[in-house]
Amino acid sequence: MNIALLLVDVQEDFLSHPKLLQEKSALINNISSLLQTARKNSWNIFHVQTLIDADAKNAMPHWKKNGAKCYEGTVGATAPKELAPKDGEPIISKQFYSGFENTKLSAALNSQEIDTVVICGIHTHACVRATALDAYARGFKVIIAKEAVASYDKEHAEMTLQWIDNKAAECINTEDIVAKLSLKKEAKIWLQRNPADWNEIFSEVPVQGKDEIAQVIDKLNASVQKIKILTMEQKKQMLIKWHQYLLLNRQVWIDLLVKEMAKPIKDARSEVDYGLGLVQYACENGYDEEALSNGIVRYKPHGIVGLLTPWNNPFAIAIGKITPALIYGNCIIWKPALSAYGISKKIYESLSECGLDEFVGLIFGDAATGKIILNNKNIKAISFTGSVKVGKELAQVCGTFPKPLQAEMGGNNAAIILADMANEKVAKELVGAMFSFSGQRCTAIRRVIVEESVIEEFTNLLCREVQKLKSGDPSEEETQIGPLNSKEQQTYLLKMIDEAKENGAQIAIGGKIPSENTLSDGCWLEPTIITEVSVESFIYQNELFGPVVVIVKAKDIYEAIALHNNVEHGLLGALFTSSKKAQKLFLDEAQAGIISINQARPQFSVSGPFNGWKASGFGTAEHGRWNMDFYTQVQTIYTYNPA
């Protein structure tokens, strides 16, 4: 069998499409894994790329009309370094959809006596499909690597794979391709880097998959019966011991957040203390039975629950989920974000120190790993914190089982500023809420809606406060702005800023990488305020998750509330005014799960619910008494007491 790998349109302009349904980093990792397998097994490798001349004369007609991309010689036309061609791996240029429109591809495949082509790349419903069909028409056996293709059009992409499978091509996962073609499986490694100095590698993280998950599930199935027979008091005592251990090592967690996440030290302390408060509350307030007038209500565990936790608050969110899951008698399979590898591993070690590790299985993996966990029938509920896109996919899959899903999916949060409070004090507070941890908080303010009469004055106040912010070493007390989490996010945000400018927006301050030499090697971006933005634009309507804020005007409180609600998110909303009438109107009409009056960054209560409306949340709220609603199944028992 002679095999060729075709990488179709694996270029920055396609990979950076804002609506691509698979996260860029996950897609690159999946394609990279396949590419490494191909190189190790000496496949022929062809990089099929759309390349457009500088004058765009060879662009497709609809590109000429709507704007071309992939101009030859630009960064957008190149592959990311992980997928860049090596010597001996030819680039096959194309103008339209199929790689076979360039006769060089057929000629090269035939000269190498290729009989099987494996296809990955972008977009599933267009160029991947066209290339696969043309390969089939030319007599090649065609395999499409399902998790190594992506599209921005979910419906047509899914229909393409369903229609083409077992007709013109086989659509299978990379693991199955390896097995089918009797190849040696290459271990997938993810590099954990320092956001403050991207050249520094902290760890080489093994990406785990189906086999490792199966081993963890086997272990947890044996532990389900052990935790089930523990009394509530016994579980509480075990978790109180864990809380004490976490508290004793408070500085360890702070230092890890500063080092691994480059989180400014003041923000790191706040996260650690909030997380410790969540654990303490859950330990003190759990119960599993209550009386009715003629019976009892019991709260029974699900069995094994899956916890999918993010990188931005890797300590507080993780322990805030782990504690109630265990208090209510569940075992846990936990998949933290890869970039939180070190701190997550340390948290697991703390569980081991307190005898809780037999009830928790830790898995490090990517999006494909998460899907395996999601689809495992032994896992009875899922708690997730992450993006809207992934949350919606989880909801769709969980609905087919069905299994309970608790999903917190971020926020495109707005603060409304009325004229009576457009002052320096409010501007200072807002800047902290917008730019702390470089805006990488789900509750960060991303939109500022200002009463029209004072918008120019208030924008100037905000810019003056931004100029006072200090970027730099996260371990220094005076540092307020750290780097972004990755170079990928830095590139993405710069592109979004450029697109906003092309569409008429103005940069009031920031908008570029800082010029200081000490910041040159990290993932830095200046705190950015953008004005003259359309409320229908991408940058207004979407959560960018970085230090980028847009300002728009409203003629009065009624228009301001309408603008506040005019996005798909609904996590947090803030209003600044002394008007009781305006406050009541905002409280009645604002579409958000968390409302704040005259403060932009409220101190969240460990006993209160944390939840979003609309696309920001799905299922039961997190924390407080709501923990029991998600981590248990309710059972009502009626008793008969004859007179």
**Residue 473 in tokens:** 């070493």
Q: b/e per residue, 391-412, with b = 16+ CB within 10 A?
A: bebbbeebeeeebbbbbbbbbb
Q: Per the residue annotation, which of 260, 442, 465, 526 is the catalytic one?
A: 442
Instruction: Look at the alpha carbons of 109, 115, 121, 127 in this order and tell me if their dihedral is positive or negative.
Output: positive
| Cα–Cα distance, 15 to 183 (Å, whole number) | 28
| Cα–Cα distance, 383 to 330 (Å, whole number) | 13
Instruction: Look at the alpha carbons of 445, 446, 447, 448 in this order and tell me if their dihedral is positive or negative.
Output: positive
| Residue 70 annotated as catalytic | no
Tokens 């805030």, located at residue: 320
Q: b/e per residue, 474-506, with b = 16+ CB within 10 A?
A: bbeeebbbbbbbbbbbbbbbbebbeebeeeebe
Enclosing H/E stretch for 430: helix 424-435
Q: Per the residue annotation, which of 147, 271, 408, 465 is the catalytic one?
A: 408
- Pairing of the two strands 548-554 and 572-576: unpaired
Phi, psi (degrees; rounded to nearest 5) at 31? -70, -40
CB 93 within 8 A of CB 111: no
The DSSP output letter for 330 is: -
489: nearest Cα among 518, 444, 524: 524
Phi, psi (degrees; rounded to nearest 5) at 171? -110, 105
| Cα–Cα distance, 30 to 161 (Å, whole number) | 17
Long-range CB pairs of 132-135, under 8 A, 24+ apart, other chains included: 132/164, 132/168, 132/169, 133/98, 133/164, 133/168, 134/98, 134/99, 134/100, 135/6, 135/100, 135/169
Phi, psi (degrees; rounded to nearest 5) at 406? -115, 115
| Cα–Cα distance, 582 to 579 (Å, whole number) | 5
| Cα–Cα distance, 98 to 118 (Å, whole number) | 14
Instruction: Look at the alpha carbons of 492, 494, 495, 499 in this order and tell me if their dihedral is positive or negative.
Output: positive
| Cα–Cα distance, 312 to 262 (Å, whole number) | 10
- Pairing of the two strands 445-451 and 548-554: parallel
Q: Where are the beta strands (DSSP E) in 163-223?
A: 170-172, 189-194, 197-206
What is the maximum alpha-carbon separation in the chain?
Answer: 94
What does each C-alpha distance from 624 to 280, 307, 442, 595 come to in angstroms? 11, 18, 19, 17
| Residue 516 annotated as catalytic | no
CB 599 within 8 A of CB 574: yes
CB 45 within 8 A of CB 7: yes
Catalytic machinery residues: 408, 442
